[in-house]
């Protein structure tokens, strides 16, 4: 059956939240819908890197060319992602907001 929502486990500020969001939403949009105040000073344009999260489990989209550039400049880990630049590709995603 087609599922239109993604289930998230989010580690934030020593809490673990379980939420769902539309699967078409970026991780940033999902996190903000959960009322997690992820900074996004460039407005989600992939420039500022303030929306960085760690993907603990689950598959998300490949890095966009813009995100690749930022990740190389700042020596991101493979699972360190710009939440405004990636989307869930699986039903269950676990992320940590640093």
Largest CA distance in the chain: 41
Taking the least distance from each CB to ligand FES, the nearer of 55 and 82 is: 82
C-beta of 97: minimal distance to ligand FES in Å?
A: 13
**CA–CA separation, 52 and 97 (whole Å):** 7
CA–chain centroid gap for 94, Å, is 9
C-beta of 27: minimal distance to ligand FES in Å?
A: 10
Binding site for ligand FES (CB under 6 A): 40, 42, 44-51, 82, 84
C-beta of 38: minimal distance to ligand FES in Å?
A: 8
Nearest to 10 by CA among 2, 22, 20: 20
């Amino acid at each position: 059956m087609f599922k239109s929502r993604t289930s998230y486990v989010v580690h934030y500020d020593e809490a673990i939240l379980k939420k769902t969001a539309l699967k078409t939403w970026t991780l940033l949009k999902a996190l903000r819908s959960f009322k997690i105040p992820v900074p996004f000073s460039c407005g989600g344009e992939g420039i500022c890197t303030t929306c960085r999260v760690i993907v603990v489990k689950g598959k998300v989209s490949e890095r966009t060319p813009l995100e690749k550039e930022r990740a190389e400049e700042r020596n991101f880990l493979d699972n360190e992602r710009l939440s405004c630049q990636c989307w869930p590709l699986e039903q269950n995603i676990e992320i940590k907001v640093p």
